[in-house]
Structure 1
């Protein structure tokens, strides 16, 4: 970025190297970073409440004289002091204390305590409050006290002092200048940036505490708007950069010859939703710009058939397609299904995985490089150095959130190494539905297609919550299902024993179930099995030779056995909502009624109870995803730490939907009308993080 668009305040802070190192741990590298390191909460030391009239349920400040000081040994060693004012008294209890504090808080000393008053063994009390020795009539704080996120060796006082210096003493020219045009500030009635920053670091005494803490105060609204705007501007710029590149134009010049033959051989019809998204993808492939589309669809909605249609469009135009999946089980499932579909069309499908022997691998590599295989299916092995494509026109990535940013980029680079310099089209697929606000925010630079209906004939899966002490009922249910000719999954979260989690292991469970169900064929599959054994076990299960399959979560995605009508998930309370929903989607793929039993151990934590309640009450993946976002926040939901996306620090997508919508509108206007302001705004908020790519 040239100097004309740089933001003042980017120079390193004038502090010692040791201090620089500590600040860097908080993501603070320059004056602007420090200014935007805003308080996580506030303490109100601007008021003193009489002890007997102080409000309950929130932190309050009281002042009084110590009338009693004692180290109590039972029920545990603690320092107990009684503090009195004209209205009454309370106890201060310090469970961890130094000998110097016993002397400091001597009888007769006047103190101010900040904390929450509760009623305990000693009556009204404060446990471990913030405590200061003061003089009578000592002035109160003139503003709310900010509390910052700190790190080891960098206490609150030091960080607050440094922030105060930058804001008040250094007076760096332009540090708090506006990056937004005056027209936009007036149109959206935004407070000015400078006053917002100052108000959040030093809120005046009359500032409503609840609005500050909930981040609904106007100054917070301005900061959150600016943050969302920076994200939207960055996304829009990346979208424009991609649109400036050239991709192979995979038009429909052959009048859908392969497409029509393919659909003609299927024993089912596409749903209206599948036809709609296939048409959207088809139009993108025919464009001269690289497609960057995310295909969303709930478990069992039929994303693979849509991907197959896209692959055929590339193949008809003489270009190869690569399809990458995160696990060998899922990749092999795709390979088998696509081979079955494409063999009658005369299309060779190559299979590539990390577990292949060298002698099996060489002919596959040769077929991909020569173009004999026009479709290559595999795991991350597809983007290894020795893999060369003849003419890669389309990269399809299933369960894209399970791959790191560099892995996705590496597959695309395989196509860019071609002599033509054309960038392959990219289709990403996800069965983890993305809530609307998340899509608007973190996927703003992608085109999104949604398959919003399930194929006809799918019966909803009944979910049952069963405590671990009712295993006998579960065993009876399994016997009943198997006697009726159905098949069963029993899912365990770990392979090896873990003393800390005390979870049932797949190995132990397999051995136990073999004894209980001596008359049934019981199989075992987990991630550490050799690829051939794993594939063989899954084939036997699909063919009905195995009635009960004990598995780890390697079966979470892609496994399709219509005859499996019952699933038992062990230690369901330990799993995330997305994983539970994905696993549940492995049953209910036939026409008969299916059941998913969630076995849980008591006692349940509050978060586990919420998760199980959500999965029990909802079958719609989008609603589950929305509630999951609410529980976990976007960082964990997206796996964003491995994807390269800068996370939001202040804005809350659940709470700030209106700000996000406004930021989207403003982003387009700024890029078109005020490009210099847009660059300054991005630089202020994202700095060096602007170079990440969505791939």
Structure 2
């Protein structure tokens, strides 16, 4: 069936033109299809029912249908623009076919008297019901109808549905689709056979109503989703086993430094912090590299757990390094660690790109000589000229902000150091099972005592003056305020309140208060000066971009305003809100939004308004955005899921269980399964 809906590109082809064969592999590669073996696993987006004919008189506006008609006449019209208008009819009524983009060959096919099968979505037009760019083909009077639904595949420019269908069916006939799942496991987990499942999805039977199709194909989809999850689990668990097979330095604790820190802390560890610390301490005495994720909500106290891990490395005479994605966050870590650890006689090296060359050289020498057992910094820690004398522990904070190569670069400063990854973005359980199966996970699921709940309020842009009054009142009570904006300076494309504009307005409206401005384009020393003034309460109102999203701890700040909150993601909103509520005073986060709100923005604001639990927010965020956007896995090396749904916890758990069994009892089948589904992507996981 000729697809008349595709837009011509370049010079029109003749009616019988065939794509140059050399371009076909490139077009398939754009879809991630490297060879014939990939084609059976390129599954339809949806289906169209061409198994029945609908009389024109029974056409329903907005409901796709197939019609069998005869061409009455066809002409090129020029008003309001050049278009091909074709009038067709069956015995019950008439339709207009309208093509805004067309080839001369199409006009030739649509000559009066030609019998057509046309598929499209009717809509009301000036001359009656019409189809815009319908799919059509000429037929003989006695041509039978298909007995299967027509699959519609994801495609790319220059690759039509007919070509894809032909290639996929040929691959289905020729490919080796033998089942990689042992029969006993397939039966135990009530899974369909692979080849029939694929056949059902590519050529589903006709059904009485299209809404019955989901139920009909559910068993086939369950098998495909299971296989995809299984491939991911196999690759991650294999990487996990490979890491455990490596040798790593053992970091036995003496307890001298860790006990000294715990005695002098002005607070007591929570039960969750103690549990996480014990899990990490046990990993560090193993002869294989630790690969652990420490996750917790905003303010759950990850830094103190990291400090205890660093001390265990120091007690054994080895170095520990902590890398953070921004200078503000790195400096916050440095300040805390220096205050806690330097009284114990340890030197904490500080390394960022903004240091003067002489300072950077001096720090690099102390790290290279081993004089500094502890180092904190930004990407500067992984520069080529930085070397460690005996790095035993690498800690990466907010790991999703680093690319996979950056994260690996810190580990590569030693032969096989232990690694601790920290995240203040809580990770839903199914996501952790799916994308972090190569890591052990510790969870800080409680907040330290003294953290006050933050009250969240949604306020429309029209009530901005009331918010300014609220700011003045908070500062008169001795409190401090964050005012967060999404842009630094005026944008021609997005009419949003900018940090610089807001700073100027607040300086004018609140002359009795000192207002500061911090954003990513400030020089590091200027940024540090403003942040230090805010920390010392010399600045009462801090206007900022999202550079303060993580790593800023000012207990006296009890009010946060987020400008254009509808433009922020849920994770960002939750992280920003976590900058207040760190003291004893009641804290409020005001989300200023502008109308009109998109449906997605409305959902985000509703979720952040109704929830304070970061894990619940993360769960709903995952449902909104999907795993690829949620964890930045497009740069992580972890294969993304195309078909599986992480909400199906039972299927994720089943795939995890089967992966363990196959790696142990059926390693060859496990390798074949990964080769079929991952197409070499598992190589990323071996680092």
- Mark yes or no: TM-score above 0.5: yes
SS of structure 2 residue aligned to 1:24: helix
Q: Counterpart of 1:114 in 2: which secondary structure?
A: strand
Out of 511, 515, 525, which is 1:518 matched to? 511
Structure 1: runs of 5+ lacking an equivalent: 1-14, 417-422
**Change beyond 3 A, Cα 1:107–1:479:** farther
Q: Residue 478 in 1 paired to residue 471 in 2?
A: yes
Structure-2 change in CA distance of 1:153 and 1:120 (3 Å): closer
Aligned to 2:493: 500
Which runs of structure 2 are paired with 1:271-670 in the superposition (5 Å)?
271-416=270-415, 423-654=416-647, 656-670=648-662
CA distance in structure 1 between the aligned counterparts of 2:199 and 2:358, rounded to whole angstroms: 68
Name the CA distance, whole Å, in 2 between partners of 1:619 and 1:351. 34
Residues 1:140 and 2:148 aligned together? no
Paired residues of 1:463 and 1:597 also in contact (CA < 8 A):
yes
Instruction: Please say if 1:677 is aligned against 2:659.
Output: no
Distance (Å, rounded) in 2 between the aligned partners of 1:634 and 1:216: 24
Q: Is the contact between residue 37 and residue 171 of structure 2 (CA under 8 Å) also seen in structure 1?
A: no
Tell me whether 509-518 or 95-104 shows the greater mean CA deviation: 95-104
- Contact 1:42–1:213 (8 Å) recurs in 2: no
* Residues 207 and 213, structure 2, Cα contact 8 Å, conserved in 1: no
Q: Mark the runs of 5 or more structure 2 residues left unpaired by the alignment.
A: 1-19
Tell me which residue corresponds to 1:185.
186
Q: Give a deviation string over 1:79-127, Cα, whole Å, max 9, x none.
A: 6666544555555555555676667556655443323345676665544
1:113 to 115, 118, 137: 118
2:134 maps to 1:129: yes
1:321-375 deviations in whole A, cap 9, x for unaligned? Answer: 1000000000001001110111211111110001111111122112112222111
Q: What's the RMSD between the two structures over aligned residues?
A: 2.5
Greater Cα offset, 240-249 or 328-337: 240-249
Corresponding residue SS for 1:692: helix
SS of 1:583's equivalent in the other structure is helix
2-side partners of 1:640 and 1:207: how far apart? 41
Q: Aligned in 2, Cα 1:89/1:627: closer, same or farther, shift over 3 Å? A: farther
By how many angstroms is 1:412 displaced?
Answer: 0.6
SS at match of 1:113: strand
Give 1:195 shift: 2.0
Whether the aligned pair in 2 keeps the contact of 1:211 and 1:217 (CA below 8 Å) is: no
**1:393: how far off?**
1.1
Distance 1:592 1:553, change over 3 A: same
Q: What does the per-residue CA deviation read over 1:197-247, in whole Å, with 9 as the maximum and x for residues that have no partner?
A: 222222233597446568953222222111111111111110100110122
1:184 Cα offset (Å): 1.8
Equivalent residue of 1:241, what SS? helix
8 Å contact kept, 2:61–2:124: no
Give the secondary structure class of the aligned counterpart of 1:414. Answer: coil
Relative to 1, partners in 2 of residues 1:79 and 1:572: Cα closer, same or farther, differing over 3 Å? farther
**In 2, Cα distance between the equivalents of 1:493 and 1:564?**
20
Q: Which moved more, 1:27-36 or 1:521-530?
A: 27-36
Q: For residues 385 and 299 of structure 1, what CA distance do their matches in structure 2 show?
A: 33
TM value normalised by structure 2: 0.92
Contact 1:492 1:553 in 2 (8 A): yes
User: Following TM superposition, by how much is the alpha carbon of 1:569 offset from its aligned partner in structure 2, in angstroms?
Assistant: 1.2
Q: Residue 23 of structure 1 corresponds to which residue in structure 2?
A: 28
Distance 1:617 1:80 in 2: 53
Three-state SS of the structure 2 residue aligned to 1:159 is helix
Residue equivalent to 2:162: 157
Equivalent pair of 2:201/2:217 in contact (CA under 8 Å): no
Higher mean C-alpha displacement, 333-342 vs 272-281 = 272-281
- CA separation of 1:214/1:465 partners in 2, compared to 1, >3 Å: closer, same or farther? farther
Instruction: Name the counterpart of 2:7.
Output: none
Aligned length: 668
Change (3 A) 1:550 1:680: same
Q: CA deviation at 1:20?
A: 1.9
Of 639-648 and 142-151, more deviation after overlay is shown by: 142-151
The structural deviation recorded for 1:128 is 3.7
- The 1-side partners of 2:39 and 2:107 are apart by 37
Deviation at residue 167 of structure 1 after TM alignment: 2.8
Give 1:459 shift: 1.5
Compared CA separation, residues 72 and 618, structure 1 to 2 (3 A): farther
Instruction: Determine if contact 2:628/2:634 at 8 Å carries over to the other structure.
Output: yes
CA distance in structure 2 between the aligned counterparts of 1:215 and 1:617, rounded to whole angstroms:
38
Say whether residues 1:693 and 2:654 are aligned partners: no
Give, in whole Å, the separation in 1 of the partners of 2:270 and 2:128.
68
Compared with structure 1, are the counterparts of its residues 77 and 470 closer, same or farther at alpha carbon in structure 2 (3 Å cutoff)?
A: farther
Partner residue of 2:8?
A: none
Instruction: Please say which of residues 73-82 and 297-306 is displaced more in the overlay.
Output: 73-82
User: Are the structure 2 counterparts of residues 566 and 47 from structure 1 closer, same or farther at C-alpha, using a change threshold of 3 Å?
Assistant: same
In the other structure, the counterpart of 1:265 is 264
Question: CA shift at 1:540, angstroms?
Answer: 0.6
Does residue 195 of structure 1 match 2:196?
Answer: yes
Q: Deviations over 1:368-417 (max 9, x none)?
A: 1222211100001111111111221111111011111111111111121x
User: C-alpha distance in 1, partners of 2:475/2:425?
Assistant: 31
Structure 1 residues 131-140 or 548-557, which shifts more? Answer: 131-140
Q: Is the 8 A contact 2:119 2:134 kept in 1?
A: yes
The question of 1:36 aligning with 2:35 is answered: no
Change (3 A) 1:24 1:72: closer
The alignment's TM-score, normalised by the length of structure 1, stands at 0.91
